[in-house]
Amino acid sequence: MFKVKITGTGSYLPKKVLTNFDLEKTMDTSDEWIRTRTGIRERHIAADDEATSDIVAKAAEKAIDMAGITPKDIDLIMVATITPDNAFPATACWVQKHLGIDTEIPAFDIGAACSGYLYGLIVSAGMIEGGLVDRILLCGAETLTKITNWDDRSTCVLFGDGAGCTVVEKSDGDSAILSSYWGADGRLGDLLIQPAGGSRMPASHKTVDENLHTVSMAGNDVYKYAVSKMKESAMEALRRANLTGDDVDLYIPHQANIRIIEATIKRAGIPMEKTSVTIDHIANISAATVPISLDEAVREGRLNRGDILLLTVFGGGFTWGGAVLKW
């Protein structure tokens, strides 16, 4: 158990919305196919001049406001992302600049693909409990549509852009992270990958011509592992907290496909009414999905102090995890 709590949440979705009907006009797909296979209706698209740190800053301002603090009260900034502004410096450093924080606090990014926010939450909890810092700005943010292959209908319909931020700090009361569970299997890295642009395959005319800087996914294989690991993460996080699905007041799963969510809640015994489903209007935003869904739940009054909250994630790596929080 970690005696930490989330005191502020905030999210930001870029203004431009691309619906399934818009996609019908530019490629061989249909609203019906996308909705029934994935649960997605529409996704938000970052503007050409909008980088990941820009949208993080907007979400961060809301989280900081809710927490009742100022940017200068933050001890550390962490941004989970696979679409950083640059390979370096870290997006978290740009966020520090955007927020006008001149107190020279540490800032770095977390790379665990769609599992990045939950990984960041566990890392944050360990650092706060270990006495390294008192208050962390923990964000998940992506501009995935900038690394989307718009010629591949099996992937391009799945992703969207957005940012979600949280203020994580020491808890003096009952709020806590009751349990956590995380894992990875690097043998499966090739199944969901941005092949080029790193040291394995540096950028070249050839890599650009062959669209190798975009998301490449073996959809069916990823789907099978996602179902299995999301179930495992939910069950193991609950077991470690000595709880069952009956005890859960709200479940926020990573949103990659509505069918993965349905399979997981069936296994964990959690009703759909207690499950956050945001995939219809935000699509899959990788590391941003959970903190955006969390912010929506908080602002809609679906989550109250003392509630039991279950989070689970799955993503490239493969990486996965779950956590049970007493809100």
Give residues in contact with ligand COA (CB under 6 A).
Answer: 29, 33-34, 37-38, 114, 153-154, 157, 217, 219-220, 222-223, 226, 256-257, 284, 314-315
Name the active-site residue from 93, 114, 139, 165. 114
Least spacing, CB of residue 194 vs ligand COA, in Å: 13
Annotated active-site residue 156? The verdict is no
Q: Are strands 135-143 and 76-80 parallel, antiparallel or unpaired?
A: parallel
Distances (CA, A) of 64 to 7, 59, 81, 146: 9, 9, 20, 28
Q: How many CB atoms lie within 10 A of CB 127?
A: 19
Closest distance between ligand COA and the C-beta of residue 224, in Å?
9
**From start to end of the chain, where are the E strands?**
4-12, 16-19, 42-45, 76-80, 107-110, 135-143, 161-170, 176-184, 192-193, 216-217, 250-253, 308-315, 319-326
Q: Is 284 a catalytic residue?
A: yes
Residue 281 annotated as catalytic: no
- Both tokens of 238, joined, read 């609950």
Cβ-based nearer residue to ligand COA, 101 or 287:
287
Pick 128 or 282: Cβ nearer ligand COA: 282
User: For ligand COA, which is the closer residue by CB, 30 or 242?
Assistant: 30
CA atoms within 13 A on the CB side of 127: 20
* H or E stretch at 38: helix 31-38
Question: Residue 89 or residue 111: which is nearer to ligand COA going by CB?
Answer: 111
| In the complex, least distance from residue 218 CB atom to ligand COA, rounded to whole angstroms | 9
- Nearest distance, CB of residue 92 and ligand COA, angstroms: 22
Burial of 87 (0-12, 13-18, 19+ CB in 10 A): exposed
Map residue 206 onto helix, strand or coil.
Answer: helix
What is the nearest approach in angstroms of ligand COA to the Cβ of residue 283?
11
Q: Decide: helix, strand or coil at residue 138.
A: strand
**Please, what is the minimum distance in Å from the beta carbon of residue 27 to ligand COA?**
7
Secondary structure of the chain: what % helix, strand, coil (to 5)? 40, 25, 35
Give the whole-angstrom CA distance, residue 209 versus residue 110: 29
DSSP-based three-state secondary structure for 191: helix
Which residue, 276 or 284, has its beta carbon nearer to ligand COA?
A: 284
Which residues are catalytic, by number?
114, 254, 284
